């Protein structure tokens, strides 16, 4: 699965990944559910759902709070064509001015379960959650598992960090393996799956039903094919440069069509460059991020692959 990443996994990037590396599922960016507006979901988010093409399933991830707004949003999204809905229980920055969202919902498990039960009653398609292992205690997930099962969830995407950890430390996939053993729900592993060896080891040793790639996929779109064994797990620096050159050029051309003007297209692309970690490429990546025009960006990109 391609993870939901706000500001990054937009329609253009999702379609590029579907065409070139074939994820089995792709997620939208956050669909923010409005509590103070009669329109629970923005027109642009509804258009994002309706514009999805092809046979690769699109999972729409909602983030918000309150049973009534979320249930109304879910019904509206299904009317727009969504067949798969997911609730974010993991974002560590999850508090709106009017209430808890994302990972903050784990602070009140009883209210959370009431919310999930209400959502399950109105959602006709698949329904899942993307969840941290707990708010401040990684063992909290084991108290939630039987209640998740009772709610009728279809699967669980688990990021084995607590909410208060944010992205510090390492995702503890020993906990993922234990979760798999203690629930009947299919478990999808998420967090720090940045290369083929890690992904293949998780599939072989934990019993997870699948993997979700976020930052690892942004840095290396071919991670899907590497984990499947369709491409080599590691590549030499020269080939890595050529792969990234094609990836960035392809996205630039698509962003120039999709977004309003050169500046917005470059800003979107520069956000993505921040997720490419290769130390030997940082000098050239910094030059790309300093480019102020498409022409100068292209000139630097032409030299990137050589």
Catalytic residues: 91
Q: Which whole-number Å values give the CA distances from 128 to 16, 132, 243, in the listed order?
A: 25, 13, 34
**Mapped to the 3 state alphabet, what secondary structure does 32-60 carry?**
ECCCCCCCCCCHHHHHHHHCCCCCCCEEE
Helix axes 294-304, 261-273, angle to 10 degrees: 30
Q: In the numeric block, which tokens belong to residue 134?
A: 């707990």
- The three-state secondary structure class of 69 is helix
In the chain, DSSP assigns E strands to: 26-27, 31-32, 58-63, 84-89, 95-96, 99-100, 126-134, 155-162, 187-190, 210-212
Nearest to 209 by CA among 25, 84, 57, 28: 25
Residue 189: phi and psi, rounded to 5, are -85, 135
Q: Are 266 and 297 contacting, i.e. CB atoms less than 8 angstroms apart?
A: yes
Distance CA 230, CA 222 (A): 9
Q: How far is residue 187 from each of residues 56, 155, 162, 235, measured CA to CA in Å?
A: 20, 6, 17, 30
Q: Which structure tokens are listed for 206?
A: 């934990």
CB 178 within 8 A of CB 196: no
């Amino acid at each position: 699965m391609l993870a939901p990443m706000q500001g990054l996994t937009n329609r253009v990037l999702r379609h590029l990944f579907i065409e070139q590396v074939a994820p089995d599922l792709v997620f939208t960016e956050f669909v923010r559910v409005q509590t103070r507006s009669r329109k629970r979901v923005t027109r642009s988010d509804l258009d994002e759902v309706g514009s999805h093409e092809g046979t690769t399933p699109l999972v729409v991830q909602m983030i918000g709070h309150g049973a009534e707004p979320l249930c109304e949003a879910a019904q509206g999204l299904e009317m727009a064509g969504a067949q798969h809905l997911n609730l974010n229980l993991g974002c560590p920055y999850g508090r709106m001015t009017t209430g808890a969202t994302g990972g903050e919902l784990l602070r009140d498990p009883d209210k959370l379960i009431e919310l999930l039960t209400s959502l399950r009653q109105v959602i006709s398609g698949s329904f899942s959650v993307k969840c941290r292992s707990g708010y401040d205690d990684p063992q909290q997930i084991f108290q939630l598992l039987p209640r998740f099962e009772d709610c009728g969830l279809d699967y669980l995407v688990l990021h084995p960090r607590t909410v208060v950890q944010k992205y510090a430390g390492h995702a503890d996939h020993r906990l993922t393996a234990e979760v798999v053993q203690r629930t009947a729900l299919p478990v999808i592993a998420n967090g720090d799956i940045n290369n083929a060896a890690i992904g293949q080891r998780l599939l072989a040793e934990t019993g997870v039903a699948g993997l979700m790639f976020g930052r690892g996929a942004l840095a290396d779109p071919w991670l899907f094919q590497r984990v499947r064994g369709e491409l080599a797990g590691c590549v030499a620096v020269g080939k890595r440069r050529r792969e990234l050159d094609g990836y960035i050029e392809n996205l630039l051309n698509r962003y120039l069509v999709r977004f309003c003007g050169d500046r917005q297209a470059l800003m979107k692309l520069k956000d993505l460059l921040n997720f490419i970690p290769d130390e030997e490429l940082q000098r050239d990546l910094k030059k790309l991020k300093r480019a102020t025009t498409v022409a100068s960006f292209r000139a630097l990109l032409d030299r990137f692959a050589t």
